[in-house]
Structure 1
Amino acid sequence: MEGPPLPDNSGPPLPTPLTHVLRPHHIGILSVLMLTFKEEYETRALSPPFLLHVYRILLYDIAEVEEPKPWHQLIKEISSGPTADVGDVRYDAHYLIEALKDVHMDLRTPDELSLFMQGVPMLFMERDEETRRSPFGFFCRRCYITFLKMSFVGIVNLQRDYQAWRNGDANVGYATAPLDRLNNDTLLFRTKHDLKLFAQPEAYAAFEKASDVADVGEAVESLRRFFEQYFHGKRDSGYRHHALIHLVRFYYQRRELAAAKELIDEAIETARRANDTASAEYAKALRARLPHKEPWRRPVLNMVEPNIHPYEVLFDVKKLMQVEFEQPLSASFERIVEGVGVFDNWAEQENTPQSDVEQWGQHAVQSLVWNAAGCTQLSNIEENIVIAFTEVAGDDNNRITVLLNRAYKTARQGQYDEALCMLLEPDVWRGLTMSDYELWANEIWHILVLRASRRGQTRLFREYLRPKRPMGVYRSRDYFLELGGPRSSKIRDPLHEVIYSLNCGQGTSSVEPLLTSLWDSEFQCRFGSYRTGITLLADMGMQFGMAKRSKKILQDIMPQVINGDDLEQRALACFTMARCVIAAGDTESEIFDIRVLPWLNRTTDPGLEEAVEYLKMAEDDYETLEMHTALTKVRYLLAVLYNSMGREGDRDEAAERHHDSSISLIQNGSEALDTEVHEIWTLVTDAGAALSMR
C-alpha cells in the first residue's frame, strides 16, 4: 500500500527549517566536489558519462534521503562508473579515483581543516534570484556559512569526528546536541534559528522500524514524538492530519480495522481544516477500503479524481471480484484499464523512483483476475512480469503477493515440494514486514493443509496443523468434505453442497443449487468454477438416467479441461467421462448403477477402451496430486473394466495398485506427526522470530 501524499502546494508554503549542522560526511562530499570540478576544468580528463555518474551519486547524498554512506562505500560507488573512452576522445578518470582514495587524510589539525574550508567558496558564486542555480552550489554555500559560524571548539570536534569517520566509524559526529549556550559551545555566531531544535527524522525512522516488526506500542509512541516536534514558528504545525493518516494506515496494515475506523473520520476532517486537498482525498480513499458496519452493503468504488492514487483504483478490482458484488470480471478489467490511465497521469506528476516501482501493481492485479477467469496461462504471464522487474529480497507487496499466488497454484498441481521451496527461499522472506510475514506464513500453512487433506492425513491436521493456524482466512470446506462453517461464496458453496450430496448418494436433491451456481459462474465469467459445475452436472445427470446427455455435456467442456491447467479438475472430468462412456454405451432402456459394475461383461464394446484411456489419465492425475481416496475409486473401476474385458493381467495390476492406495490411505489417516511438516513449520517460526528482532 502506498504512503500518504505530500502536503498540498496550492496554499502558501510553510517555512522550512533553517538550521544546519556540519557533519563529517559533508567534508567528504566537499572533497569529492572540489577534486572533481578541479580535474574537469583543468585537464578535461573526465568523460561526460563518468561525470553524470558522479553527479547522480553526489546528488543522492546531498538530498540526505537515507543515512550517510561511509567513505569507502562512497569511493567504491564512484569507482564503479564508466571510465572508457567516448568515440575518438580519450579520457582518464583513474587519476581522479586514485586521488580520492587518499584525499585529505592530512586534515589532522583544526588549522588544516580551516585552510581546506577557505577553498570552498570557489565552488559557488553569488547570483541573482532569477538566475538558475545548482544544488551543488547551494550545498557548498550552506556548508561554508555553517563553518563560519562555528567556534574553535566546534572546529576541533568536527576535525576529530572527521578523522574517526574516515577510519570507518560511521556513528561519530551524528548525535543531536542541545542548543542552549550552557551545554553547547560549538557555535560562535548564533541566529535566532539556532536556538530552536527543529524536527528530526529519527522518531519517524523508529516508527517505520516498529511498523516492520509489528511493535504497536513503539510505533504509536514514535509517531506521536515525531509529529510533536518543532517544525516551524507557527502556532499550528499543520501536520496533525498526517499523524492521524499514518496511524490509520498503520492500523489498516495490521488488519486492526476497528481502530482504523475510529480515527479515519477525524483524519478527514482535520485534513479539510488544514486545506490539504491531497491528504483529504487520500484519507477518503483509505476509508473506502474499510468494510461497512453493515456487512450486506456493497462496497463503494472510488471516483477517478486528480489526487487519487492509482492503487486505490486497482483496489476497487478487489471489491468488484467479490462474488456477492454480482459483477462480471469484465468490470474488473475495465477498472484495471482506468487504473493504468490514472497511473500514467500520476507518474507524470510525481516523476519519482517510487512511481517506477508501483507500475507493476496493475500486472499483479491482472494475474488475479485472469486466474479467476480460468485463464491460467495468461495469469502466469502477468506473474512473470512482476517477478522479473521487482526487487529481490525487498518489501514490495506486489512481488510477495504474486509469489504466494503462484506457490499455491503450483501446490494445487501436486508439486508440493516445489511450492514450499519457492516460499522458503531466503530471498522471498528476508525482506518482509511482519504484516507480509503473516501472509507468507498463512500461505505455507494452507499448502501444508492442502497436502494433508488430499493425502487423507486427518489426524495430522487435527492434532498438529490446526492448533498452529496463523492469522488469516481459512474455510474448512475448501479442504474437507463437510458443510460446516460460514458461507463465503454463492458460487463455490453450492458446489460444495453438490459434492457432499453426491458422496452421500443424494445428488438429485442438489439440482437447484447447482444450476444457480452455474448461472452465476457463467454470468460472472468465472469459467474455472463453471467447468467444475458442468462436470458435477454430468455426474448428476447419470443418476437421472441421462448418460448420453451427460456424455455430450462433458464432450463440449473437455477441450477446456484436457490441457491440464487444473489437474484436479481434469482428473474429475476424466473419471466422470469414463463413467458416462460406459453408461452411454448400453441401450437406452437399460439403466444401471455405474458405481457397482461387477456384472459388467461387454468385451466387444469399443466404448470400454475409451473409458480405460480416460481412467488412466484420471489415475495419473490423482497419483500426482496424492489424492488417495479418489485414486482408490478410480483404480477399483479400472480393475472392474479390465476384468470385464478379459484382461486379467491388467486387472491384477490395477487391483494391486488399488490395494496399495488403500493401505496408504489408512496409514496416512493414523499419522499424528510428520517430520517434514514439523521441520518446515519450525523454519517458518524461526524466520518470524528473526524478522521481529531486526
Structure 2
Amino acid sequence: MLPPTTPEETPRTTHVLRPHHIAILSVFILVLREPPSPTFNLHIWRVLAREIAETRPPRSFEQLIQTIISGPYEYADENIKMGRGLRNVPKHLYTHDGMSQFFADVIAFVPERDDEAGRSVLAGNYAVERRSYFGLFIRRCYLSFFKLSWRGSIKLLADYKNWVEGKETGYNLRPTDRDGGLLLVPTLSDEQNQAQMDPYERYENAVKVGDVHSAIENLRRFFDQQFSQTDESGLTQHALLNLARLHYSLGEFQAAGSAAEEALKLARNANDALTALHCNKHRLIPASSSPGSNISATVKPNTPPLEVLYEVQKGIATGDSLRAAFRRLYQSIGCGDASYADSTEAKWARHAAQATLWTYAGVESLAQTHENIVIAFTGAGDDDSRLNALRAKARRMVRQGNCGGALMVLLDPETWRGLTLRQYGFWASDVWKALFETAKRRRQESLISDVLIPRRPGHAPLPQALAHRMDFPHKHNEVVAEKIARRLMDDKEYAQALTHILDALWSSEYRGTWTYHRLAVVQLAEVSTEFGMAARGRRIIEGCLPQILNGDDIEIRAYACHTLARCIIAESWSQDDPKAKPPPAKQVAALEEAIPFLQVAETDYNQIGVYTERLHVIYTLSVVHHNIALGLQAMVADGDETMVTPDTSVEWGTDRAALEAKAKQMMNERDRMAEMYMEVDKMRKEVSSMGADEELKAVLDTVVKVGAAINRVPP
C-alpha cells in the first residue's frame, strides 16, 4: 500500500488543453520526423522543456517561433527551415479532420504499453518514452483532446485560430467550467473544485500596491480552497504565517505578532516543525534596555538561512556589536550549506548583509565587492538584496559628491522596475535624500524650503527591529551622539559636546563601527584644540590618519585634514609658553607642515560642493601663507642660521636670496588664495540663491510617475 501523499506532493488531476499546447506539439512533430543537427536539436528541446514546465506565462505563437529559430547562428539554414515549417502548421489544423489527424500523428511517437519490466517499448516509429517528461506531456494533451465533445472541439479550433492571429483567447476557461457540454466523457476529477493560483497571484499584486483589504481577502480565498481529498487541508498555519508577514511589511507589528502566535500554535499541533520555526522568528522582539539581549544564542536544526540572517538586522538595530552580527552571518552561511533547499535569493541576501556590515566596519572596498556581486547576478524586480545594494551604492556616491551618478543609479529602470509599494517608499526616499544632501551642502535654503521639503516622500514603514530603536539610550547610537555634538560645537558649547563625543567613541568602539569612530576621533581632536590641548588632538588624529586618507569618505577626510592642520599650527604656540610667540623659524616650519593637509581639505570640499567649509580652508591657507612670508622676513632681519624648514635642506642664514624669494612666493600664494576666496564666495552666493531647475523638477516628476505606475493610478 502506497503511503498517503502530502498536499505538496498531490499531482494535478485535471488538465485543460490550451492553444499553446498545440503549438508545442507541432514542434514535437517537426523535430521527431526530421531531427536537426545535434546542437540545434538540443536548443529546441531546452525551449520545449521550459514551455512545458509553465513556470512563466506562455509565449504567443510568434514569440514561440522567434525563440525556436534563435538557435546557434552556424545553423541558420535549419533555423529558417524550422520557422517556415511552424508557420505552415496552423493552416492544416483549422478543420476537425486536420486536428484529429494531428493528434493521431503526435501520439504515434509514444508507445502504447510498457514491457514486463515497466520500460517503454520503443519499436518502430516510437521516439519518446511513455513515462518521460515529454512523453507524459504528449499523452496528457492527447487524452484531453480525446475527452472533448463536438462543442469542445469547435471551441478549441476557434481559440487556436484566434491565438495564432495574436488574440488572447482560450485562457479564460477553468477546469470546472468544462461541465457545460465541452467534455464527452467527464470524469470525477473534472467536476471537483481544484485549488487555483489566481487568488494568491491577486494577493501578491495587492501587497505590491498596498491594498491591505484586497490582500487579506485573496489570501483567505487561496487557503480556503481544497488542496487535498480530505476535508482539512492542514495549511491554516501557512495562511496565518503569510498574514503575519503582510502585517509586518506594513508596520502593523501587534497584528503581525498575534497572527504569528496563532500560526505557531497550529503548526505545533500539526507537527509542522519548519513552519513553527518561521512563526517563532516572526514574533515581535520584547522591549529591552541592553543591546543584544534579544538575540538567541543558539541556532536550532533546520532553521531557514534567511531567518538566521534576520538576526543580523535585529542585532544592528538594537545596538549589538558587529562581532556578534558577523557571527550570526556565518551561522546563516552554515545553515545554507547544510540545507538542501538553500535558495539563490538567500545567497544574494547574505552578500548584501556582508556589504552592510563591512560598510559599518569602515572597509568600503569589501563592501563594494559584495554589492557588485549582488548587482551583477540579480535582475530587476522586488528583490530586497538588489535594491539594498543599489541604494548603498547611490548613498556612497552622494557622500563622495557624485549626486548625478547616484541619481543615474536610482532612476535606472532596472532599479525601480517591479518594486512593491513598500520598496518604492525606500527608493523614493533615497532619491529625495540625494537631492536634499546636495542642497544642504550648498546651503540652498530656498530650494530646500520651497521645493524639497513640500515634495518629501512619505515615510516607509520601519522594519520590526528598528521600531524599538528608541527603547535604548542615546549612548548606544553613535550617529545620534555625533550629530548632537556637532550642533553643540557649532554653538561653541564644547564642554557639553565633549560628553556626547565620548558617548559616540564608547558606542562605536564597542560595536566596531569604525566609520563613525573615526569621525568621533576627529571631533575629539577639534575639541581638544579648543581646550588648548593641540598636541593631544594631533596625536589622536594621526592614530587613525592612514584609514582616513584612503578616501573612502572624502568629507571625513577633508574635515580630518582641516582639523589636523589647525592642531599643527596651534601646537607650535602651545609647546612652550602659550603667551610667548614662537621663534620665526619654528613658526614657519609648523605652518609649512600644515599646508599639504589644507590643500587636501580644499580639494575634497571642492569635489563634494561644500562651499562654506571650503571658504574656511581657503581663508586659513591665505593666513598661513601670509604668516610664512612674515616669518621668513623676520628670519632675514634676525639672520637666523640655525633652523631648517621641512621642505628644504638650505640653512636660511647662509642663503638670504633664497629666503627672500621664498617670502615673495608666499606673498603671491596669499594673493592667489585671496582671489580664489572671492571667486568661491561669489559662486557660493549664486548657488545658494538658485531655485529648482528643469532637471531637478524632472527627477521629482519621475519619482511621482513611478509611484503612480506601481499603484496603477494615472498620474
Work out whether the TM-score is over 0.5: yes
Question: Which of 69, 87, 92 is the equivalent residue of 1:101?
Answer: 87
Which residue identity lines up with residue 700 of structure 2 in the other structure? W
CA distance in 1, matches of 2:460, 2:176: 51
- Counterpart position of 1:222: 218
CA distance in 1, matches of 2:370, 2:213: 39
Whether contact under 8 Å (1:364, 1:382) holds in the other structure is yes
Question: Which of 420, 434, 449 is the equivalent residue of 2:421?
Answer: 434
Question: Which of 27, 31, 53 is the equivalent residue of 2:43?
Answer: 53
How do residues 232-247 of structure 1 correspond to structure 2 at under 5 angstroms? 232-247=228-243
- Counterpart position of 1:25: 20
* Structure 1 residues 69 and 655, CA gap change in structure 2 (3 angstroms): same
Using structure 2 for the length normalisation, give the TM-score.
0.83
CA distance in 1, matches of 2:282, 2:117: 41
CA distance in 2, matches of 1:244, 1:547: 62
| Residue 604 of structure 1: how far off its partner (Å) | 6.0
Question: Which of 596, 612, 618 is the equivalent residue of 1:635?
Answer: 618
| Residue 463 of structure 1: how far off its partner (Å) | 3.8
- Counterpart position of 2:308: 313
Whether 1:332 and 2:325 are equivalent positions in the alignment is yes
CA distance in 1, matches of 2:318, 2:612: 30
Using structure 1 for the length normalisation, give the TM-score.
0.86
Whether 1:299 and 2:294 are equivalent positions in the alignment is yes
- Counterpart position of 2:457: 470
Which residue identity lines up with residue 343 of structure 1 in the other structure? G
What is the RMSD of the two structures over their aligned residues, measured on CA atoms?
A: 3.2
* Structure 1 residues 77 and 654, CA gap change in structure 2 (3 angstroms): same
Local SS of the residue matching 1:468: coil
Whether 1:389 and 2:377 are equivalent positions in the alignment is yes
- Counterpart position of 1:174: 172
* Structure 1 residues 456 and 167, CA gap change in structure 2 (3 angstroms): same
Local SS of the residue matching 2:185: coil
Local SS of the residue matching 2:556: helix
CA distance in 2, matches of 1:584, 1:101: 87
Larger deviation: 11-20 or 521-530?
11-20
CA distance in 2, matches of 1:111, 1:245: 52
- Counterpart position of 1:74: 64
Whether contact under 8 Å (1:285, 1:302) holds in the other structure is no
Local SS of the residue matching 2:453: helix
Which residue identity lines up with residue 235 of structure 1 in the other structure? D
> Identity of counterpart residues, as a percentage?
34
CA distance in 1, matches of 2:558, 2:613: 9
Local SS of the residue matching 1:123: coil
| Residue 572 of structure 1: how far off its partner (Å) | 1.0
Whether 1:562 and 2:519 are equivalent positions in the alignment is no
Which residue identity lines up with residue 312 of structure 1 in the other structure? E
CA distance in 2, matches of 1:12, 1:70: 32
Which residue identity lines up with residue 213 of structure 2 in the other structure? G
Aligned residues, how many? 652
Local SS of the residue matching 2:158: helix
For residues 246-281 of structure 1, give each alpha carbon's deviation from its aligned partner in whole angstroms, at most 9, with x where no partner exists.
Answer: 222223333333332231112222233333332222
Whether 1:365 and 2:356 are equivalent positions in the alignment is no
* Structure 1 residues 170 and 675, CA gap change in structure 2 (3 angstroms): closer
- Counterpart position of 2:702: 683
| Residue 672 of structure 1: how far off its partner (Å) | 6.3
Whether 1:422 and 2:422 are equivalent positions in the alignment is no
* Structure 1 residues 474 and 259, CA gap change in structure 2 (3 angstroms): closer
Question: Which of 142, 147, 159 is the equivalent residue of 1:144?
Answer: 142
| Residue 369 of structure 1: how far off its partner (Å) | 0.9
* Structure 1 residues 675 and 113, CA gap change in structure 2 (3 angstroms): closer
CA distance in 1, matches of 2:215, 2:689: 46
CA distance in 1, matches of 2:574, 2:277: 70
* Structure 1 residues 50 and 267, CA gap change in structure 2 (3 angstroms): farther
- Counterpart position of 1:189: 185
| Residue 487 of structure 1: how far off its partner (Å) | 4.5
Uncovered stretches (5+) of structure 2, i.e. residues with no partner: 121-130, 463-471, 630-665
| Residue 376 of structure 1: how far off its partner (Å) | 1.1
Whether contact under 8 Å (2:572, 2:587) holds in the other structure is no
- Counterpart position of 1:5: none
Whether contact under 8 Å (1:292, 1:299) holds in the other structure is yes
* Greater length-normalized contact order (CA 8 Å, ≥ 6 residues apart): 1
CA distance in 2, matches of 1:35, 1:302: 61
Which residue identity lines up with residue 143 of structure 2 in the other structure? I
Question: Which of 329, 335, 347 is the equivalent residue of 1:342?
Answer: 335
CA distance in 2, matches of 1:382, 1:292: 32
Which residue identity lines up with residue 320 of structure 1 in the other structure? G
CA distance in 1, matches of 2:330, 2:261: 30
| Residue 231 of structure 1: how far off its partner (Å) | 3.0
Local SS of the residue matching 2:319: helix
Whether 1:114 and 2:100 are equivalent positions in the alignment is yes
Uncovered stretches (5+) of structure 1, i.e. residues with no partner: 1-8, 476-484
* Structure 1 residues 254 and 601, CA gap change in structure 2 (3 angstroms): farther
Which residue identity lines up with residue 340 of structure 1 in the other structure? I
- Counterpart position of 1:275: 271
Which residue identity lines up with residue 141 of structure 1 in the other structure? R
- Counterpart position of 2:592: 609
For residues 480-531 of structure 1, give each alpha carbon's deviation from its aligned partner in whole angstroms, at most 9, with x where no partner exists.
Answer: xxxxx99585322332333233322232344343234223322322221121
Whether contact under 8 Å (2:391, 2:430) holds in the other structure is yes
- Counterpart position of 2:646: none
| Residue 340 of structure 1: how far off its partner (Å) | 2.0
- Counterpart position of 2:608: 625
| Residue 361 of structure 1: how far off its partner (Å) | 1.9
Whether contact under 8 Å (2:15, 2:175) holds in the other structure is no
Local SS of the residue matching 1:549: helix
CA distance in 1, matches of 2:286, 2:698: 41
CA distance in 2, matches of 1:611, 1:474: 48
CA distance in 1, matches of 2:325, 2:683: 44
Q: Which has the larger radius of gyration?
A: 2
Larger deviation: 241-250 or 565-574?
241-250
CA distance in 2, matches of 1:378, 1:14: 43
Local SS of the residue matching 1:422: helix
| Residue 317 of structure 1: how far off its partner (Å) | 1.7
For residues 537-595 of structure 1, give each alpha carbon's deviation from its aligned partner in whole angstroms, at most 9, with x where no partner exists.
Answer: 222222332222222222232222112211111111111111111112235233379xx
Local SS of the residue matching 1:118: helix
Local SS of the residue matching 2:591: helix
CA distance in 2, matches of 1:526, 1:65: 44
Which residue identity lines up with residue 135 of structure 1 in the other structure? Y
Larger deviation: 429-438 or 502-511?
502-511
Local SS of the residue matching 2:282: helix
Which residue identity lines up with residue 108 of structure 1 in the other structure? Y
